[in-house]
Structure 1
Amino acid sequence: MPPTSGFRRSTGFIPVLALVVLFLVAVTVYAVSVLSDSEEKRPEPAACTATADGVSYHLTPGRTETAALIAGISVRRGMPARAASIAVATAIQESGLRNLDYGDDAGPDSRGLFQQRPSQGWGSQEQVMDPTYAANAFYDALEKVPNYADLPLTVAAQTVQRSAFPDAYADHEAEAKAFASALTGHSPAALTCTLAPPSSSGSPEAVLAAMTAVYGPVEATVEGDRVTVAGTGTYGWSLAQWSVANADSLSLDSVAFAERRFTRASGTWDPAPASENAVVLTVVRVAEQP
C-alpha cells in the first residue's frame, strides 16, 4: 500500500468536520436569536417601584395597595410621614403586607396586617382582619408612644408590637421609608407601576368610593370616565400616588397632577399640562366582546 494512502483518507474528513462545525454554529446563532426575541416580547411582571436617594424598591401591586392604605390613613389622621414609615415597616415584617387569617410565632390568635392579637386587647378577630381597623389600631397605639417620631424606627415599632424579634423592623426601614414618603406625598412622582393590560373597565364611582374610604370625604367631580379631586401640595401628591398604587385593581388608565401624568401604557410620570390644584384620574374602558 502506498505510504500516502492514509493521508488521502484523512483529507475527506476535514471538509465534513468543517461542515458540521458550521452547522452547529448556525444552530447556536439561531437559538440565541429566538431566545433573545422571546425575551424582548415577554411582558414584564406587574410591579410597583418606589425610589428614594437613587435606590429603587419593588412590591407587587397588591402589596403596594396595602402600603397605600396604611399611608393614606396616616394622612387622614394628620400624622407625620414618619408614622407611615413605622407602620409600613411593621406590616412588612409581620405579614409581608398581606391580610393573614392565621397566626405566626407571635401567637396562635394573631391576625391581619400587623398580626394583632385579640387576646391582648387589639379587638375581635373580625376587627383586626379589617385592614382599615388594623391600621387605625396600630396608629392609636403608636400615638401613645412618647416622641415616637424621634425614636429609631425599630424601637417605636417594638414599643407598639412587643415582638419576640425587636430588631427585625429595622431590616425594612429603607424600603418602608421609600414607599411611605411617596404615598404620603412627601416624594413627588416617586411611585410608578408596571401593570398588565386591564381585563375590565373601571368605574369612576368605585374609584371615588375607594379613595374616600381611606382619606375621608374629598371634594371631587365625576364627568364621563374622569374623576377630578381637589388637592394641593403633599396632600395632592398623596392622592395621586395612592391612585397609582391602586391603578391595577381600579382599572385606572392615567393619573395627572402638578404638570405630571402617569399613564398605564408608559408606567412612568411624564411632563404634561395638569392643574396644580386637582388630581385628575381617568379610568379604562375595555371594549366588550361581541
Structure 2
Amino acid sequence: MSETRDPRPRRRRPFRTAVGLLVLIAVIGYFAVQRYSNGGAGAPYCTATATASGSDGTVQRYEMTPEQAANAATIAAVGISKGLPDRAVTIALATAMQESALRNLDHGDRDSLGLFQQRPSQGWGTPEQIRDPVYSAGIFYDHLVDVPGYSRLPLTVAAQKVQRSGFPQAYAKHETDATVLTAAFGEGGTPATLSCSGPAPQPGNPDKVREELARAFGKDALTGSRDGAATGHKGSDRATETEVNLQLKRDGGAGEARRGRAMAHWAVARSQELGIARVSYDRSAWIAGSGRGQWQVKGGNGAKDGDGDPHNSGPDEVRIFIAR
C-alpha cells in the first residue's frame, strides 16, 4: 500500500531562523556579561577610542586582546622614543597589523618571524632579536626613515619600501585602525584613549616595570623618577602597592605631553603582564578591575595626600602603581 503524502507545505524555516537568532543573542549576551561583569573584571580586552577630526565628532574604536595592545604600545613607544612623527607610528602599526595581527609570531612564510614578519636570512637580525618587539620595531623605523619623504607617501608605498611584500596594497585596509591606535598612544591633537578591562592583576615586580619602560622609551624615561610604597586605593583588596612615579619635563610642550600620554597608556596596555594595578596621569586614573576598564577623570588637583586618591596627578608626572 502506498503512503499518502501530506499536501500541506511544512514551514520549518522560520522556526529554525528564530532559534538561530535566539542562540546568537544568547552568545552575544554571554560575552557582554563576561566583559562587563564586576565593573570590568570579566574577560580581558582593550579598546582604543578616538574622535575623528572634523565637525561630526564621529567616535572610532579598535578592539584587541591584551597581547595585541601590549605589542601596539611597544611599537608606538619605540617610535616616540626615537622622536618620530605620528605618521611613522601609524605606518608601523598598520604594517604590523597586516603582517602579524599585532602578535609576536614564532613562524611565518619561509623564515619570517615576529610582529613585522622580518626574515633573518634577509639581514633583519637573529631570530631572537626579531622576536623582541622593541628590537623589531626599532629596526623597522630605522629602515622607514631611510625612505626619502616617507611621511608624505601613501601608507602602502611607504610600508612596501620597507617590507618588500608580495601584497603591498593589503596595508591600506589597516590605516584607519592604525590611526586610532596612534592617537590613543600619544597624539595630543585628537581626543583619544586606550582602556583595558579585566580582573585585577597578580602582584608585579617594580624592577621589571622600570626595565621595560627604559627599553621601550629609553633610559630618559626614568630620569627623576621617584619610587615607594603607596596606600591601596579605596575599594582595593590590597593594603599597599608599589609606586613608580615618572617625572616629565615641566613646560615641555606638546612633545612631552605626547610622551606622558604614551607612557600612561603603555602601562595600561601591559597591566596584566606586569602586574600594574592602576595608572594616573593629568588628573585621570585607570584602575584595574573597575569602571569597566575606562579612564576616570577628576577635576581639580586631586587629594593632597595623593596615595589613596588615584586621580591625584598632574600633567608633569605619570604614576604607575604595581600590585603587591
The TM-score range, normalised by the shorter chain, is 0.7 to 0.9
Q: 1:257 touches 1:276 (CA, 8 Å); kept in 2?
A: yes
Q: 1:185 touches 1:236 (CA, 8 Å); kept in 2?
A: no
Alignment CA distance shift 1:256-1:188 (3 Å): farther
Q: 1:75 touches 1:215 (CA, 8 Å); kept in 2?
A: yes
Q: 2:156 touches 2:169 (CA, 8 Å); kept in 1?
A: yes
Match 1:226 to one of 237, 243, 248: 243
Mapped pair 1:49 → 2:52: no
Equivalent residues, number? 248
2:38 matched residue in structure 1: none
| Separation of aligned partners in 1, 2:192 and 2:113 | 33
Counterpart of 1:167 in 2: which secondary structure? helix
Counterpart of 1:50 in 2: which secondary structure? strand
Q: 2:100 touches 2:116 (CA, 8 Å); kept in 1?
A: yes
Instruction: Give the CA deviation at 1:93.
Output: 0.6
**1:188-207 correspondence to structure 2 within 5 Å:** 190-198=193-201, 200-207=202-209
Mapped pair 1:169 → 2:167: no
TM-score, normalised with respect to structure 2: 0.72
Q: Amino acid of the residue matched to residue 124 of structure 2? A: W
Alignment CA distance shift 1:40-1:131 (3 Å): closer
Mapped pair 1:116 → 2:142: no
Flag structure 2 segments of 5+ consecutive residues without an equivalent.
Answer: 1-25, 36-42, 53-58, 230-241, 249-255, 303-312
Instruction: Give the CA deviation at 1:263.
Output: 1.4
Counterpart of 1:248 in 2: which secondary structure? helix
Q: Amino acid of the residue matched to residue 227 of structure 2? A: V
| Separation of aligned partners in 2, 1:139 and 1:153 | 14
Instruction: Give the CA deviation at 1:103.
Output: 2.0
**1:75-114 correspondence to structure 2 within 5 Å:** 75-104=80-109, 108-114=110-116
1:11 matched residue in structure 2: none
Instruction: Give the CA deviation at 1:284.
Output: 2.1
Q: Considering fraction of residues, name the structure with more helix.
A: 1
Flag structure 1 segments of 5+ consecutive residues without an equivalent.
Answer: 1-34, 286-290
Q: 1:99 touches 1:131 (CA, 8 Å); kept in 2?
A: yes
| Separation of aligned partners in 1, 2:135 and 2:209 | 20
Alignment CA distance shift 1:148-1:40 (3 Å): closer
The Cα RMSD (Å) is 2.2
Greater relative contact order (Cα 8 A, min sep 6): structure 1 or 2?
Answer: 2
Match 1:278 to one of 305, 312, 317: 317
Match 2:131 to one of 123, 129, 132: 129
Q: 1:184 touches 1:234 (CA, 8 Å); kept in 2?
A: yes
Alignment CA distance shift 1:185-1:222 (3 Å): farther
Mapped pair 1:269 → 2:274: no
Superimposed CA distance per residue, residues 104-159 of structure 1 (whole angstroms, 9 cap, x where no aligned partner):
2xxx1111111112222212223222222211111111001111111111111011
1:159 matched residue in structure 2: 161
Q: 2:140 touches 2:162 (CA, 8 Å); kept in 1?
A: yes
Instruction: Give the CA deviation at 1:211.
Output: 0.8
Mapped pair 1:180 → 2:182: yes
Alignment CA distance shift 1:96-1:40 (3 Å): closer
Provide the identity percentage. Answer: 41
Counterpart of 1:228 in 2: which secondary structure? strand
Instruction: Give the CA deviation at 1:182.
Output: 1.5
Moved over 6 A (4+): none
TM-score, normalised with respect to structure 1: 0.80
1:70 matched residue in structure 2: 75
Counterpart of 2:199 in 1: which secondary structure? coil
Superimposed CA distance per residue, residues 153-211 of structure 1 (whole angstroms, 9 cap, x where no aligned partner):
1111011111110100011111111112221343565111112232x212222211111
